[in-house]
Amino acid sequence: MKKLCLILSMLGAAVTAHAADPLNGTLWKTIDDETNQPKALVRFSEQKDGMLSGTIEKILVPGEDGPCEGCEGAYHNKPLKGVSIVHHLKSIGGGQYANGEITDPKNGKTYSLKGEILNQGKTLKLRGYLGISLLGRNQIWQRVQ
C-alpha cells in the first residue's frame, strides 16, 4: 500500500510539473519598442486559474527606480518594482498566448495582449493593442532566466 501511494504521488508530481506553462517562473528583459533600450525585468507566474501574470522585479533605467512621478492613475508616485503589468495571459498551445492584458504604468492605460515564444525560448514577442490586433505595437523581450 505504501509503495502504491508513493508511485501515485510521484506520478502526480510528474504530471503537475509537465503541466506547468513554459513562461511560469521565467524572467524577461523588457525592451522599449521606441528607444530599443532595456527598461525592466519582468517575471511571469502562473495563477491558480492557469492564467499568467507578469510582475516588474527590477527597473533597468538609471534614475527611474524610484517613485514614478510621470505615471498616471494608480501608479502615480508609486515605485514600479512589484507592479503586475501583465494579466490574464492564456496559453493557446505551441508557445502562443492570447486573451491577456498589459498595462503601461506611464499612462495607466491597459491594452489587450497576445504573444509567442520564439528562438528556442530566448525571445518573447508581445503585441499590445486596442480593439483589433492590427491597431497595436510589438515588443520583443529577451529571456534572462
Number of domains in the chain: 1
- pLDDT tens for residues 82-132? 999 999 999 999 999 999 999 988 888 899 999 999 999 999 999 999 988
pTM, rounded to two decimals: 0.82
Q: Is residue 86 part of a domain?
A: yes
Q: Is residue 4 part of a domain?
A: no
Q: Is residue 58 part of a domain?
A: yes
Three cell numbers, residue 70: 510621470
Q: Are 104 and 70 in contact (CB under 8 A)?
A: no
Question: Between 107 and 140, whose confidence is greater?
Answer: 140
- What's the mean pLDDT when you consider all of the chain? 86
Q: Are 53 and 47 in contact (CB under 8 A)?
A: yes
Range of the domain at 39: 21-143
Model confidence at 134, pLDDT cuts 50, 70, 90, reads: confident
* pLDDT the model gives residue 18: 44
* pLDDT the model gives residue 19: 56
- pLDDT tens for residues 37-78? 999 999 999 999 999 999 999 999 988 888 888 788 888 888
* Contacts of residue 125, Cβ cutoff 8 Å, sequence gap at least 6: 115, 116, 118, 138, 139, 140, 141
- pLDDT tens for residues 2-28? 453 434 454 444 444 445 799 999 999
**CATH number for the domain including 59?**
2.40.128.520
Q: Is residue 5 part of a domain?
A: no
Q: Is residue 6 part of a domain?
A: no
3-class secondary structure per residue, the chain: CHHHHHHHHHHHHHHHHHHCCCCCCCEEEEECCCCCCEEEEEEEEECCCCCEEEEEEEECCCCCCCECCCCCHHHCCCECCCCEEEEEEEEEECCEEEEEEEEECCCCEEEEEEEEEEHHHCEEEEEEECCCCCCEEEEEEEECC
Three cell numbers, residue 109: 492605460
Q: Is residue 7 part of a domain?
A: no
**CA–CA distance, 63 with 55 (Å, rounded to integer):** 20
Q: Is residue 65 part of a domain?
A: yes
Q: Is residue 26 part of a domain?
A: yes
